[in-house]
A and B are shown apart, each in its own frame.
Chain A
Amino acid sequence: MNPTDFKNTILPYKDKMFRLALRLLNKREEAEDLVQEALIKLWQQQDRLAEVQNLEAWVIRLTKNQCIDRLRGSKNGHKEWKDGLDWADSTPLPDARTESADTMNKLQKLMERLPENQRLVMQLRDVEGMSYQEVAEALDIPLAQVKINLFRARQTMKSILSSRTPQV
């Protein structure tokens, strides 16, 4: 792959990556920074890209993992090995990491209330318009989990939305 190929095949995902990063990190500059890092990482891994069947899922997953690493304050996913051990864990993000409320847009403020795993599913489905199957592949979770997370996220949104007056 040469830089031109990269520009044509991988770079077009940048906005989707950015929106996902923003959803998790809640800070524009940090999200932008992360996407840049993720793209460089993809470039460095290009010899493996040839084996990848679903490029979009791969790109999204890498972005998500980079975000999670950053949020957990770990370098190179060093502590990530424990992932499988606390699979039931769905704690919301630590507040200290999120931006002060007034610089966030409305959607950010609403979605911020969701736990990470629900937020991710909702982002990919409701913002990016991906199918359940695509979401499952991108997040590496079973299809049934996608549906459950989405259901919970939408239920929460419904109760938030119905309790507030429009045009806040």
Chain B
Amino acid sequence: MKQQQIQSLLDKYFAGESSLQEEAQLRQLLQTEPISEEHLTYSEWFQLLDEEAELSLGDDFDAKVMASIEAYSKPKPVIRTLSTSWILRIAAVFALVATGLWWLVRSNPVEQPVVAEAEVKVIDWSKYEPKTVEEAYKVTRNAFRKVATEFNEGTAIATQGIDKMGEMGKLIK
């Protein structure tokens, strides 16, 4: 009787159809009932899983982490002001670049290049669309992340650009 029950629970388990309750029941049965030869390897599998769930980090780990956290929490306000000022600096440089560009474009309109439309093959873009909205979102998110990450990396360069602000100012006037 019990052996049959074990077998049917195992079948469900490997078919990915068992509920958490059934899985718990299966583990229970494999621990308490006599195990037939054919079920031995599976019983061992669940034992391994149970053992794995017991793996843990020692108390010295806690102490180590808490020490680093306390260390981090002290200089934190300093880090904050620093990073805010950096963001402001980037913003400032971008503002300048943007204003500069705006002025340049305004005072000196870009010639609209004549695009040889005929040379452009018509691309069926729909082929390259993600199949679901979730995927589309992920792709978009990743693309924005890429843009933003590179933006952040541009910080150093942007900051150097501050020195050039004076020149920019002259341009605007």
Contact = CB atoms under 8 A, between A and B. Distances in A.
A and B, direct touch (CB closer than 8 Å): yes
Interface in B52-88: 52-53, 55-57, 61-62, 64-66, 68-70, 72-73
B122 interface: no
30 contacts: A2-B73, A11-B65, A14-B65, A15-B57, A18-B56, A18-B57, A19-B52, A19-B53, A32-B57, A39-B65, A40-B65, A40-B72, A43-B72, A80-B142, A81-B142, A81-B145, A81-B149, A82-B142, A83-B142, A106-B48, A107-B48, A127-B52, A129-B23, A131-B20, A147-B16, A151-B15, A154-B15, A154-B16, A161-B45, A166-B41
B16 A110 contact: no
Given A161-B45, A165-B41, 20 more contacts: A11-B65, A18-B55, A18-B56, A19-B52, A32-B57, A40-B69, A43-B72, A78-B149, A80-B142, A84-B139, A85-B139, A85-B142, A106-B48, A110-B45, A126-B23, A127-B53, A129-B23, A155-B14, A157-B45, A166-B41
Interface residues of A, number: 49
B138 A84 contact: yes
Given A107-B48, A164-B41, A11 B62 contact: yes
- Centre residue among A7, A43, A83 by max chain B CB count within 10 A: A43
A7 B62 contact: yes
Contacts of B149: 76, 78, 81
A94 interface: no
Q: Is the interface of B mostly helix, strand, loop or mixed?
A: helix
A34 B47 CA distance: 27
A120 interface: no
B135 A84 contact: yes
Contacts of B53: 19, 127-129
B143 interface: yes
Interface of B: 13-16, 20, 23-24, 40-45, 48-49, 51-53, 55-57, 61-62, 64-66, 68-70, 72-73, 130, 134-135, 138-139, 141-143, 145-146, 149
A14 B61 contact: yes
Nearest to A147: B16
A127 B23 CA distance: 11
Contacts of A76: 149
